[in-house]
Amino acid sequence: MLACFSDEWDPKITTFPGVYLVATLYAHGAALLGWGEGATFCSLPVLRSVNVLFALGNVVLCVLLRRHVAPQDPHAQLHALRVALFPPHFFFAFLFYTDGGATFFVLLMLLLAERVDLLQFPPNRGSFALSALTWKGFVGADCPSIRDSKATALDRCTGSRSSSLCAALSCVGDKSNHEVTFHGAQVLYFIIMAVTGFGLSLCMPSQLHQFVESVRRSGSSSKGMLFVISVITATLVTIWCFSPVHQFMLADNRHYTFYVWRKFFLKHTAAKFLLAPLYLFFGWRCCVELR
């Protein structure tokens, strides 16, 4: 709450200042409109309402994006509602945290990239969350103004990849407790979260059958077999060598990762590897959906 009406800044804060900047403008704007005194309006419940507004904005952006991508879809509102009720998004909608604003500006960037020109839109989603910078690569690779240009594939990817690399090599907040490290397992964790959007279709036996058939077809050729072995090996190596556990992750029970590691991964050395088949299956499903 000091962020609203104070010049103080705690160097131990590990979040980007975007959420505090928006909260400050929100509180000052409300005070100017006579909705309440500044100090009163800058209370925790009111500050949390900032993310409620971002969550509502995300629903609107999801509807607009769905109508742009699939104009014939009569269920654009239901699609947006499903995204809005996605557990992490719904959870953070009621907290004073960076996720709501970061998601809003990523969706806004994607919408403007499709409708206008990404090169003419100065994205500011990086002021909310470091992870949001990674999405610049996704949007940049699919931006019509870049994709349809005469630039080579290398030229199109250089800018977005360089920004993602900078994000990967950056750490914010208290440097004594935030060290740069390669956490490749985050890609695997992301796959688990991404496929939850597919709903109950993941539980259909036909999906598992298609996955097995896909692996069998790939393994019928020498190149395909090499690819399958490489993917399995890369997954196992990533789990084994690149899944570090930060001390705060085991001490902060506000995050779901605290319970995953405490109750499951740390029970046995091999526990982390038990999810490897799921990573492979879910990763295959994501690839199928993106084709």
- C-alpha 172/C-alpha 230 separation (Å) is 34
What is the per-residue pLDDT across 263-290, written as a single tens digit (0 to 9) for each?
A: 888 888 899 999 999 999 999 998 888 7
Check residue 251 and give its pLDDT: 74
- C-alpha 93/C-alpha 85 separation (Å) is 10
Does residue 108 have a pLDDT over 70?
Answer: yes
Tokens of 89: 């998004």
Check residue 240 and give its pLDDT: 94
Does residue 153 have a pLDDT over 70?
Answer: no
End-to-end CA distance of the chain: 46
Contact (CB, 8 A) for 183 and 242: yes
Does residue 215 have a pLDDT over 90?
Answer: yes
| Mean pLDDT to the nearest integer, 161-166 | 50
Check residue 213 and give its pLDDT: 95
Does residue 11 have a pLDDT over 50?
Answer: yes
| Residue 157 pLDDT class (50, 70, 90 cuts) | very low
- C-alpha 125/C-alpha 135 separation (Å) is 10
Does residue 239 have a pLDDT over 90?
Answer: yes
User: Regarding predicted confidence, which is higher, 1 or 220?
Assistant: 220
- C-alpha 77/C-alpha 89 separation (Å) is 17
Check residue 150 and give its pLDDT: 47
Does residue 27 have a pLDDT over 60?
Answer: yes
Check residue 201 and give its pLDDT: 80
Question: 94 φ, ψ to 5°?
Answer: -115, 15
What is the per-residue pLDDT across 109-135, written as a single tens digit (0 to 9) for each?
A: 888 877 765 554 544 545 555 556 666
Highest mean predicted confidence (pLDDT) among 77-86, 134-143, 155-164, 277-286: 277-286
Check residue 89 and give its pLDDT: 78
- Between the CA of residue 219 and those of 67, 215, 230, what are the distances in Å? 39, 6, 12
Q: Tell me the pLDDT of the chain averaged across its residues.
A: 76
**Least confident interval from 44-48, 154-158, 205-209, 278-282:** 154-158
**Least confident interval from 51-60, 114-123, 177-186:** 114-123
